[in-house]
Amino acid sequence: MKVEIHTLRYGSPRWLVECAATLDAWTGRHGYPLRIWTEKDDKPGYPCLKFCMTEMWKTFAEGDSDWMVYIDGDIYVHPDAPKMEFLGDETKVLMPKSPKKSSKGFRFWYYSAYRNRRVAIPRSWWMRNAGWMAINRASVEKLLEMVRKPYHSGTQDEWQVNSWLMEAHVKRGLQVKSPPKIWHRFYWLSAPGWMWHLARMADKNDKLETVKRKIAA
């Protein structure tokens, strides 16, 4: 099974430099090809640079890998993180659930951005964090069917990505599930964890130190 890793990096804050080094070490140790996207991948029409994730999906769909994994620049990888043996043949997207307080506005945003209500949001739909994603070939084809302009900003790309995921779930039966908890941990959660997400913009250097203490304990 061939797995490719994608990430987005711009600027050079300390938290990004340190997180990048851990991702580079992990991909190098396990032989995962790593594609680093930067400011050069910005395009007119993107509400923010992170919308280049649509280009990541297209690049993956045109290649020969079985899985694509996107890992945000503010994710710190444990030095002993193993290979992703949990990826299998099931057609699905793996993304961590967003905290409830982060997803309250999604329904209002969706029905405001798409006044014709392209899809009725299922009551069971739970918003997903767009900072960590694993997707296989069959799933990315279903997802790309939903991607179209104009793009709408909401928590950067997160609400837009969730709208496409939700639409692909309703219209094409795309399965969106959570990864094993150990593979994505928000910085405020308890150990163990292989990948630690600093999340949110404020005080990332402090969050980085919190994560490093948890790993060292």
Q: Domain spanning 3-216 has what CATH number?
A: 3.90.550.10
Using DSSP's 3-state secondary structure scheme, residue 5 falls into: strand
In the chain, the amino acid numbered 40 is: K
Burial class (CB in 10 A: 0-12, 13-18, 19+), 122: exposed
Contact 132, 70 (CB under 8 A): yes
- CA torsion sign for 41, 211, 69, 155 is negative
For residue 35, the surrounding DSSP H or E stretch is strand 34-37
Q: At residue 3, what are phi and psi to the nearest 5 degrees?
A: -120, 130
User: Would the CA dihedral through 197, 203, 208, 210 be positive or negative?
Assistant: negative
Cα gap 156→111, rounded to integer Å: 17
Map out the domains of the chain as residue ranges. Answer: 3-216
Dihedral, CA atoms, 180, 183, 187, 192, nearest 10 degrees?
A: 80
DSSP letter string, 95-128:
-PBPPHHHHTTHHHHHHHH-TT-SSPPPTT---B
Closest by CA to 77, choosing from 198, 200, 202, 179, is: 198
User: What is the full per-residue pLDDT of the chain (217 aa) written as tens digits?
Assistant: 999 999 999 999 999 999 999 999 999 999 999 999 999 999 998 999 999 999 999 999 999 999 999 999 999 999 999 999 999 888 899 999 988 776 778 888 888 887 776 788 998 889 999 999 999 999 999 999 999 988 988 888 999 999 999 999 999 999 999 999 999 999 999 999 999 999 877 899 999 999 999 999 8
